Structure 1
């Protein structure tokens, strides 16, 4: 009779999945904890209704906070491009501004970009100026 090597059927063929704890407690983790608690409660002394309602209320609050957080992240991302959108209507128009020496120059806006939350206008003459330095806007001739 052939001998069966136990290492063949005891060997785990899956790669080692090391668990890394997450600092965040999300809805999935909260529900897992709640379900584990319900499954392992003492049948002679079950969880009271008010405790269960309190935990479900906490879960609802968690869900709402996660939705608010997601909305705020979306708002922040939209605000980041706001300067570009705000000044994009200047593309193709002439703007007057003062250079470093104080003399007034006029050039056409060819592009709008953003750096550190500030809108920058790229001009046809090769210069790039902050949008807050324009003194006058006119249509190109």
Structure 2
């Protein structure tokens, strides 16, 4: 009966192993223990007639110290970032349910009450022939002429359409624009009043607020916090 040699047996076992190269690949990062092991091996195998230069030895020790310091710094920075994000979340959670003035395009209207919003003026130039289009489900229902805009201006909308008909309760979209000194059309940011429903941390690590209108805005979009 034929036998399989130890070498052949090892070869067969190797062929039967998982082909996942990522799982069997060596660690590509050099840690402190690896660095110290390399340095010790170098010392053990140096030529007695030509010992390692003391300067090289000091350089290697310095590099090892720098490596450890870098690793410690990375660990500390990760912990600080995690703590900072947690603090941000706690601070943002305190405004849930409160009224805020925030940069946004969605305006909530309730019959019998004027809906109020603010136009944010550009700091570098005044705009003329400023208009605000109020729309619902992609259809314009009201065109508001504002005139010139050189400073922030508060606008009151009574909830009527262009024909004077009262509109239903709901969320309406604002589109504001004006003409600059070069005759070009410039969009204008609108600040609306609403409530904060929830807060969350986005994939970019920044705080996101979900407003009562359903619109999501960044934390830095809030201009004023009320009760």
What TM bracket, shorter-length normalisation?
0.5 to 0.7
What is the CA deviation profile of residues 16-65 of structure 1, one whole-angstrom value per residue up to 9, with x for unaligned ones?
8865572x433232122112212211233333545433322321122112
Tell me, in whole angstroms, the C-alpha distance in 2 between the residues paired with 1:101 and 1:126: 8
Indicate whether 1:41 and 2:128 are aligned. no
Structure 1 residue 67: Cα displacement: 1.2
Q: Which runs of 5+ in 2 are unaligned?
A: 108-115, 118-191
Q: Distance in 2 between matches of 1:100 and 1:63?
A: 51
* Aligned partner (choices 92, 100, 107) of residue 194 of structure 2: 107
Structure with the higher helix share, 1 or 2: 1
- Bigger Cα Rg: 2
1:123 is the counterpart of 2:128? no
> What is the SS of the residue equivalent to 1:84?
helix
Residue 151 of structure 2 corresponds to residue 64 of structure 1:
no
Cα deviation, residue 133, structure 1: 3.7
The 3-state SS of whatever aligns with 1:90 is coil
Aligned-partner Cα distance in 1 for 2:105–2:4: 82
- CA deviations on 1:2-24 (whole Å, 9 max, x unpaired) are x99461x33325648865572x4
Structure in which a larger fraction of residues adopt strand: 2
Change (3 A) 1:6 1:117: closer
Cα shift readout 1:59-88 (whole Å, capped 9, x = no counterpart): 112211221123233344455566534322
RMSD across aligned C-alpha pairs, in angstroms? 3.6
User: How many residues get paired?
Assistant: 135
What is the alpha-carbon distance in structure 1 between the residues aligned to residue 74 and residue 217 of structure 2? 35
> What 5-or-longer segments of structure 1 have no aligned partner?
none
Structure with larger RCO (C-alpha < 8 A, sep 6+) = 2
What TM-score do the two structures reach when normalised by structure 2? Answer: 0.45
Alpha carbons of structure 1 residues 111 and 64: separation in structure 2 relative to 1, 3 Å: same
Match of 2:51, SS state, is coil
